[in-house]
Amino acid sequence: MPELPEVETYRRFIDELALHVPIGAVQVLDAHVLTVPETVLRTSLVGHHFTGSRRIGKNLFLLLNDPPGAALTLHFGMTGDVAAYRDDHDRPRFVRVELVLADGLRIGFIDPRKFGRVGLTADITGFLEAKKIGPDALDDLSLAHLTAALGRRKNALLKSALLDQRLTAGLGNWIVDEVLFQARLHPARRCGELTTAEITRLHAAVGLVLRTAVAAEARYRDFPVDFLIHAREWEDAPAGASTTHCPRHPKTEIQKHYVGGRATYWCARCQPAPVGWVAEEGM
DNA sequence: GTCGATGTTAGCAC
DNA sequence: TGTGCTAACATCGA
């Protein structure tokens, strides 16, 4: 479930285990996830070590000691994960790339559906520019930027704009729904018609949701009971949370429709629909 | 066998 | 140029 909070959690996990430990070997179990040739990956990593890490949106960079500025790049796609283990027989299913550290610990890049990517960059700034990645939603999203960016996308659906990594990086499908619920804004609002007060609410909600999720290390079951996430399918809700009803309106069922082509959940009372909006059939 | 899925990107229509 | 929509990617698991 790798959106920003998961990637931040992976970053901290890898930081604790792998920084400054020489890399002894690289095992590629499925080259499909690589964006560089396997031989290049191996020669760039073996005998080197990581000196630090950075996360921008859903992209994770593990900085190499040499050459300066170079980094291993990780993107976790839809199903990526990280694990640490010591032996072949402890290797989880779906490990695609494995780093064997000099102390014997192995770091596995897990990805059942292989939408994730492992690569290298000589220059993180250039990498971000090439991919047009916007400011990080947790660390670097100012109200001024959000206001200007939404103003520029005046006809776009609010949900679609927030999912666009060029506008701000790190928000994924469930987080956008949660942010919109907390900000009490309908996902099909048009960006250009938001008021200053609404954008201010939205900005605060982005911070609230991301800080909460990172503090809980992205474990959904630990999120506050008044979070919409408990109404999504991966049920594991804390006691008192309703699966299908609004946390603030126990009698109101959560809506589920496609908005901008993505499964979207919201409360029709908290998040009033824009004039003229009609749900399409089928959910 | 069918369906949907947390992400990204390309191509097409308006 | 901006935007929405769809398909594709590869695969799992319900």
Tens digit of pLDDT for each residue in A19-38? 999 999 999 999 999 999 99
pLDDT digits (tens, 9 = 90+) for A174-191: 999 999 999 999 999 999
| Average pLDDT value for residue range A128-157 | 94
Task: Give the C-alpha separation, A112 to A116, whole Å.
Answer: 9
In this complex, the residue with its CA at the shortest distance from the C1' of nucleotide B6 is A1
| A152 beta carbon to strand C: under 7 Å | yes
| A157 beta carbon to strand C: under 7 Å | yes
CB A91 within 8 A of CB A98: yes
Residue A78 amino acid letter: M
Q: How far is the CA of A3 from the C1' of B3 (A)?
A: 24
Question: Of all nucleotides in the shown strands, which has a C1' nearest the CA of A77?
Answer: B7
Q: How far is the CA of A157 from the C1' of C6 (A)?
A: 17
Task: Give the C-alpha separation, A256 to A173, whole Å.
Answer: 13
Q: Is the pLDDT of residue A75 over 90?
A: yes
Percent of chain A having pLDDT more than 90? 84
Backbone φ and ψ of A212, nearest 5°: -65, -45
Which nucleotides of strand C lie under 7 Å from a protein CB?
2-7, 9-13
Question: Of all nucleotides in the shown strands, which has a C1' nearest the CA of A177?
Answer: B6
What does the pLDDT read at residue A282? 43
Q: Is the pLDDT of residue A48 over 60?
A: yes
Average pLDDT, rounded, for chain A: 92
Question: Of all nucleotides in the shown strands, which has a C1' nearest the CA of A176?
Answer: B6
Using only C-alpha atoms, what is the Rg of chain A? 20
Q: How far is the CA of A233 from the C1' of C13 (A)?
A: 14
Place of tokens 């990645």: A133
Q: Is the pLDDT of residue A127 over 90?
A: yes
CB A98 within 8 A of CB A105: no
